[in-house]
Structure 1
């Protein structure tokens, strides 16, 4: 599987407060970004996979909602996660 527990802990420790911090907005945004990149590569090879395309669209929407929440609550954390992940916003 492309996303095992070791990879999740690595993402959470890098972007969250520690490896067990799964609830912060930064760690969730980082996890969504990792999954979005993986699904984008999958869809480049399997362009007729409509179920994956729909889940990719829903995942981008969830990440956008979290980014909007972070923007409204703490602009400095928002700018830091955008810069760290290299998102275009």
Structure 2
């Protein structure tokens, strides 16, 4: 499940750190979160799609590593990102 150009630009605009930011950790985590949620809804209807399930697990692992990086650099940025994306409850 890929993101459209308009959807990507919207995510970049809402999560960017500075005006020319397109690849910060916050933006990457936001994009991964959106892709994960789309793929999760796809897998609820297509239970036997094992290759998509494997891709989902890889994306979750990547997001976990990025969040760990943010947490190691700044606990405040990590907390703000988690709250903004409503990932952990």
Query: What CA RMSD, in Å, does the superposition of the two structures yield over aligned residues?
Result: 1.7
Q: Distance in 2 between matches of 1:76 and 1:38?
A: 28
The 1:18–1:8 alpha-carbon spacing in structure 2 relative to 1, beyond 3 Å, is: farther
Q: Whose RCO is larger (CA < 8 A, sep 6+)?
A: 2
What is the TM-score when the length of structure 1 is the normalising length? Answer: 0.92
**What is the aligned partner in structure 2 of residue 55 from structure 1?**
55
Unaligned runs of 5+ in 2: none
Q: Tell me which stretches of 4 or more aligned residues in structure 1 moved more than 3 Å.
A: none
Deviation at 1:17, TM superposition (A): 2.7
**What is the aligned partner in structure 1 of residue 79 from structure 2?**
79
May I ask how many residue pairs the two structures share in their alignment?
89
Q: 1:55-88 deviations in whole A, cap 9, x for unaligned?
A: 0000000000000000000111100000000011
**What is the aligned partner in structure 2 of residue 41 from structure 1?**
41
**What is the aligned partner in structure 2 of residue 17 from structure 1?**
17
